[in-house]
Structure 1
Amino acid sequence: MSKGKVHIMGVGGVAMSAVAGLFKKAGWEVRGSDQAMPYPPMGDLLTDLGISVMHPYQAENLDWGPDLVVVGNVIRRINPEAVAVVESKIPYLSFPEALREHFFHDQQSIVVAGTHGKTTTTSLIAHLLAFQGLDPSFLVGGIPVNFGINHHLGKGKYFVIEGDEYDTAFFDKGPKFLHYLPKAAIINNVEFDHADIFANLDAVLKVFTDFARIVPRKAPLLIPDSDTNAKMVVADADAKVVTFGIERGIWQARDVQWDGLGVAFNLFCKDLKVGTFSSPMIGIHNLHNVIAALVMLHELDAVTPKLALALESFKGIKKRQEIKGVVNQITVMDDFAHHPTAVRQTIEALRIAKPKAKIIVMFEIESNTSRRKVFQNEFAKAFATADQVLFCRPYEKPDNLPLEERIDMDQLCADIQSAGTNAVMIPDIGDLASAAAALAKPGDIIVGMSGRNFHNVHDKVLAKLAEG
């Protein structure tokens, strides 16, 4: 018997599709709406779950009589469906509120926050728990390959969730992660981001400080020992602050050995060796994510003899250093990087894995932050660590961003060139794919970076490579 009827507004988003799936698995009748039919993989996921999607947004989408409406943060107050919800007597919640009210009271939430690494670390913790038979619930802003889905309603004691600092809904401009009732938490790092809603770094530090303060007394709150900003935001926290890092912090990775397939290391708590581990992920940033996940499980005493094997079996996340194909010994990868730090870390990781490879970066200026000038200089420095950079036309959004606030693509290309790396903007996606394929030689890496599907450029590159 159905628990009720729930309507999900903005159901095509990664997080909203996951919320829809959780409600479905909890016994609700679920339908949703979006501006258009969501493209894969979210569209396929919703179809597989049997969740119908009404589009575009309109008041009539509510005529089926839902008992509850869950509103995504993509929905603006002037949206006709939002206007209809507000004017109706139908109860409505933001998706963080919906999770808190309907899921978190029965399980202990592990919240993974930070500017970078949230999706990977959340996925890791969920996988490590699941592999050991602890059946956690989880919601993650990507698709972990081991699960093939971005959510799960488990029977175990933990709910692992990616904690986003972005605003909650048009009726709640506070950050999402303040709703998540953390019983344990990680702040992976803190940097300036989301320039569309945060004026400066101080504004970002404030919301992370607020988050740290809601972690209960004596509950584990993990931060990297190397991150000054993370240390600042936990200074007044009542939680049990636990530091981690590579050869620094309370918990440390020592005796680190890299190869082209991953990294091996010993994990220590102070001077006590806890275990030897091998991770299949490349890059220093991913090693930090792995350490954080392992430390969290140890702090929660959620460790069995299967833990090391669980880590070795982790298959990564779609759009995070995801190999889309290899043609003529040329590797084509997809990555979510859209912040200067993420761009630099991804390139550094590829250098460690394949030091002799030429790294060709294709990049779509599409996020609310990357479209702005705020990181003009930082992007130039990050891209200069590649061997070749190809930009497509910046993604246009209906936000009326003034021209003087937009990133200057001509200047960005010129600054990258001045640093010794060739950079050019190629507006047409087909031409960009052809250029990338023409530049690559056997052994090289072509990586496309975007928070979206990047106009399927990866498939276009693979097709061009196959043509020879």
Structure 2
Amino acid sequence: MSLRRPTPVVPAARIGSLHFIAMGGAGMSGIAQLYHDLGHRVSGCDRVATEALNALADQGLSCFVGHDAAHLAGVEVVVASSAIPADNPELAAAKAAGLRVWHRSEALAALMTGQTGVSVAGTHGKSTTSAMIAVMLRAAGADPSYVIGAPLVSTGVSAHLGGGEVFIVEADESDGSFLQYPTKVAVITNVEPDHLDNWGDAKSYFAGFVEFATADEVEAVVINADDPGSRRLRELLMAAGTRTISYGKAPDADVRITGIGYQQTRSYAVLTTPEGEHRLDLRIPGEHNIVNATGAFTVGCLLGLDAGALLGGAADFTGTRRRFQLVDDVDIGGGAVRIFDDYAHHPTELRAALQAAQRVKGEGRLIGCFQPHLYSRTKNFAEQFGESLAIADHVVVTDVYAAREEPVPGVSGELVADAARAHAAEVDWIPNKQELPGHLAGLVRPGDLVITLGAGDITSVGPRLAEVLRERTTS
């Protein structure tokens, strides 16, 4: 996969029928949903029938399982992501027929045309921050449109066509897509090297964020003042005269966080702005979520919305799927085992998730079950993964979820397991994911908290673990 460069797009209103390749994912399904809501004829396919694909079919979209050039009958625009190979039969047929072929980011950019684009970028926290902005702005009466990378727990949807002028997107930097969006308010949660298989090195990765924040249409940048990478970027932007509004615990943050506290799975803090102090209350745990919510609050204030209404929206936010999401709570006799799932797939994300889990685990142990994502990332960050995983009381590591990559000789999840052992963690190396539910069921004790971690199919382990525990308890 290579980096993308911005290309001109026509507004969505001037586009006819569309077909989405791999429409069953959270990002693609949301864009398809909005085109359908605008009145376009929309079809799409995926390798398997996902929950999102089935939901779109229920709403009248033409959904197919499997890829076939015959699906393109009557289609004017074909939409694909960077993950779709050139020899995909639908993509190849569309190009051979001279159809308009859009990357996912181009289809989303066309929807944003003429709107106040709020694009949320950063190495970590994009989904949660963009979701918080959507919920908080809606609570303040703005009714924004949005496309985010994970469904809201409260509604089960990842996209909404609003009646207001604001359009919120999760701006993915992995392949350069974030440069495509017509952004007026750029939000940067942090900048830490990642996706080096595309960007090449940390310097180029950082330069991508500079380009994102200084695009011609950008009117203001809301940026984290605590993260070293975003703080460095903030200094460059301020020196260049770019309007920046910072948030964080740093004494010089424009919206400063103090008084952080926790009560079970809830979090709270005091936010100080030039206009005064405000109390932030969240239903979800973790300092990282307090920082994310502060970024969302800063965006709302920048847009002129009522602070009290924004904070009310924050208090009602129940999270997004796969972000410290409670999967089940199983009584195994003598106490319960709580099972959580989290999308964390970078060392910093692992650290934040495990720190939050340690705060809410209670008297039992924290068991972290990690599936590395991508061979390139595993090779680049094995040592850092091990250090982060050592926060857990017991660690279980399985093999790499390859996603778009081919295996790399000498690179496996065992590199991460060995690194965690080197940091004094108790570690089990279970390369076969299918063995994880049974292994974890034999490991847990009453009162333990288990959290599955990773961006791959590790998410299926938690529900199966709950089934195994119930089967053992009732047998």
- Structure 2 stretches of 5 or more lacking a match? 1-12
Q: Provide the rounded CA distance (Å) in 2 between the counterparts of 1:140 and 1:233.
A: 24
Q: Closer, same or farther in 2 for the Cα pair 1:46/1:238, shift >3 Å? A: farther
C-alpha deviation, 1:304, in angstroms: 5.5
Q: Closer, same or farther in 2 for the Cα pair 1:96/1:462, shift >3 Å? A: same
Aligned to 1:464: 468
Aligned to 1:12: 24
Match for 1:345 among 352, 376, 388?
A: 352
Aligned to 2:201: 200
Instruction: Kindly provide the CA deviation profile for residues 142-195 of structure 1, in whole angstroms up to 9, marking residues without a partner as x.
Output: 01122320100111110011011122xxxxxxx111111111121100111113
Q: Closer, same or farther in 2 for the Cα pair 1:95/1:258, shift >3 Å? A: same
Q: Provide the rounded CA distance (Å) in 2 between the counterparts of 1:360 and 1:284.
A: 20
Task: Report the TM-score when normalising by structure 1.
Answer: 0.91
Structure 2 matches for 1:309-320, cutoff 5 A? 309-320=312-323
Aligned to 2:185: 184
Q: Provide the rounded CA distance (Å) in 2 between the counterparts of 1:37 and 1:179.
A: 29
Please identify, of 22-31 and 390-399, the stretch whose mean Cα deviation from structure 2 is larger: 390-399
Q: Does 1:366 align with 2:373?
A: yes
Q: Is the 8 A contact 1:246 1:253 kept in 2?
A: yes
Q: Does 1:59 align with 2:69?
A: yes
C-alpha deviation, 1:257, in angstroms: 2.1
Q: Provide the rounded CA distance (Å) in 1 between the counterparts of 2:224 and 2:92.
A: 44
Q: Provide the rounded CA distance (Å) in 1 between the counterparts of 2:415 and 2:282.
A: 39
Structure 2 matches for 1:18-417, cutoff 5 A? 18-34=30-46, 36-40=47-51, 42-62=52-72, 64-101=73-110, 103-167=111-175, 175-214=176-215, 216=217, 219-234=219-234, 235-236=236-237, 238-246=241-249, 248=251, 249-270=253-274, 272-303=275-306, 305-328=308-331, 329-354=336-361, 356-367=363-374, 369-370=376-377, 372-397=378-403, 399-404=405-410, 406-407=411-412, 409-417=413-421
Q: Is the 8 A contact 2:121 2:186 kept in 1?
A: yes
Report the number of matched residues: 452
Q: Closer, same or farther in 2 for the Cα pair 1:253/1:398, shift >3 Å? A: closer
Match for 2:450 among 431, 446, 451?
A: 446
Q: Provide the rounded CA distance (Å) in 2 between the counterparts of 1:355 and 1:33.
A: 44
Q: Provide the rounded CA distance (Å) in 2 between the counterparts of 1:50 and 1:421.
A: 51
Aligned to 1:172: none
Q: Is the 8 A contact 2:196 2:205 kept in 1?
A: no
User: Counterpart of 2:304 in 1: which secondary structure?
Assistant: coil
Q: Closer, same or farther in 2 for the Cα pair 1:67/1:127, shift >3 Å? A: same
Aligned to 1:422: 426
Task: Report the TM-score when normalising by structure 2.
Answer: 0.90
What is the RMSD computed on CA atoms of the aligned residues? 2.2
- Structure 1 stretches of 5 or more lacking a match? 168-174
C-alpha deviation, 1:307, in angstroms: 2.5
Q: Is the 8 A contact 1:194 1:368 kept in 2?
A: no
Q: Is the 8 A contact 2:288 2:352 kept in 1?
A: yes
User: Counterpart of 1:197 in 2: which secondary structure?
Assistant: helix
Letter in 2 for 1:312: A
Instruction: Kindly provide the CA deviation profile for residues 191-239 of structure 1, in whole angstroms up to 9, marking residues without a partner as x.
Output: 111132122211210111110111646x221111122221333414553
Please identify, of 147-156 and 196-205, the stretch whose mean Cα deviation from structure 2 is larger: 196-205
Q: Is the 8 A contact 1:247 1:254 kept in 2?
A: no
Q: Is the 8 A contact 1:244 1:252 kept in 2?
A: yes
Q: Provide the rounded CA distance (Å) in 2 between the counterparts of 1:227 and 1:410.
A: 30
C-alpha deviation, 1:31, in angstroms: 0.3
